[in-house]
């Protein structure tokens, strides 16, 4: 055991990182500062808004730092002045330069929401669903200069179910990440030196940042691929499609058998069961949609507003 609490600096920004911050506080470590992204405009009024991690830090009475980057020596000096033993980084939003990684005595740890080396990068949760992966997880890794290339310290796994969305998997991995981090902190604070396992050289995939342009469904693609896109893009950026002359946001859909020779994008059936749209392979049954300026509704309510579309599958 160490004769004083571990001095820890936490760096994170979105709500995904908040359970990890709470795990740091619960571990008995001395969380001396929290780093998070500068306040950004948000909402219709574009008002400057604090990140979820900043709000949690303020509520806990922890000092908050919000540098735009660590390029300035003064910002690195500020971090060094906290004399951290360890820096924990969770969805912070900045790539840390080598000079920052070298400041804490024990280096920097990162909680990453994938089973590395698969899905290094910005959007591992959504990319796993889009690819049809059956399993995901979180890795606690020792950070190095490369993008999510560091050796792994603790891992947690979870199956991806057929009805998982980007949101549901996000929430589950957030909790698993906090659990993996708590284990790592507990072992280090008990005097253990964690074994760092290098990542495999094979199976590397990059989870590129989500682009809203990706949200438009292309019915010349297989239905199962579009079903995964609908799930992956819930709650953001939300899939969209042109359906019967109207642009809709698609919140829920399932792949079903199609009709041979049907033109991709054509409406095959419209009933209380759903809106069936022909795809290159199979059909996509839309279950919950959102019209422009409206709210999320089930297909029955949508057809009440557009009764001319009603037709049962023959």
Q: Which residues are annotated as a binding site for (6S)-5,6,7,8-tetrahydrofolate?
A: 114-117
Please check whether residue 232 is in contact with residue 211, taking contact to mean a CB–CB distance below 8 angstroms: no
User: Residue 44 is encoded by which pair of tokens?
Assistant: 């219709």
User: Residue 286 is encoded by which pair of tokens?
Assistant: 């839309």
Give the chain's count of helices (H) and strands (E): 8, 17
Q: Which of 106, 110, 178 is nearest to 149 (CA)?
A: 110
Q: Which of 145, 70, 56, 62 is nearest to 108 (CA)?
A: 145
The three-state DSSP-derived secondary structure of 268-296 is EEEECCEEEEECCECEEEEEEEECCCCCE
Q: Which residues are annotated as a binding site?
A: 114-117
Distances (CA, A) of 298 to 275, 289, 305: 10, 6, 11
């Amino acid at each position: 055991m160490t004769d004083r609490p571990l001095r820890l600096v936490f760096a994170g920004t979105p709500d995904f990182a908040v359970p990890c911050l709470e795990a740091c506080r619960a571990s008995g470590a001395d969380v001396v500062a929290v780093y998070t992204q500068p306040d950004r405009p948000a909402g219709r009024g574009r008002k400057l808004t604090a990140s979820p991690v900043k709000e949690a830090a303020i509520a806990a009475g922890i000092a908050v730092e919000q540098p735009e980057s660590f390029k300035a020596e003064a910002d690195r000096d500020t971090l060094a002045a906290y004399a951290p033993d360890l820096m924990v980084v969770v969805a912070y939003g900045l790539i840390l330069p080598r000079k920052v990684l070298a400041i804490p005595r024990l280096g920097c740890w990162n909680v990453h929401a994938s089973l590395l080396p698969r899905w290094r990068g910005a959007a591992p949760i959504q990319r796993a669903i889009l690819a049809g992966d059956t399993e995901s997880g979180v890795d606690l890794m020792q950070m190095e200069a490369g993008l999510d290339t560091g050796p792994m310290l603790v891992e947690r796994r979870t199956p991806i179910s057929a009805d998982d969305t980007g949101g549901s998997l996000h929430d589950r991995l957030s909790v698993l990440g906090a659990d993996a981090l708590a284990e790592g902190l507990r072992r280090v604070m008990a005097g253990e030196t964690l074994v760092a396992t290098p990542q495999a050289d094979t199976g590397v995939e990059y989870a590129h940042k989500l682009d809203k342009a990706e949200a438009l469904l292309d019915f010349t693609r297989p239905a199962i691929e579009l079903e995964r896109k609908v799930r992956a893009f819930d709650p953001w950026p939300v899939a969209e499609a042109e359906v019967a002359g109207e642009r809709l946001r698609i919140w829920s859909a399932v792949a079903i058998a199609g009709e041979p020779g049907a033109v991709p994008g054509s409406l095959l059936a419209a009933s209380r069961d759903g809106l069936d749209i022909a795809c290159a392979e199979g059909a996509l049954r839309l279950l919950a949609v959102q019209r422009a300026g409206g709210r999320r509704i089930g297909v029955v309510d949508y057809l009440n507003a557009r009764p001319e579309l009603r037709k049962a599958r023959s």
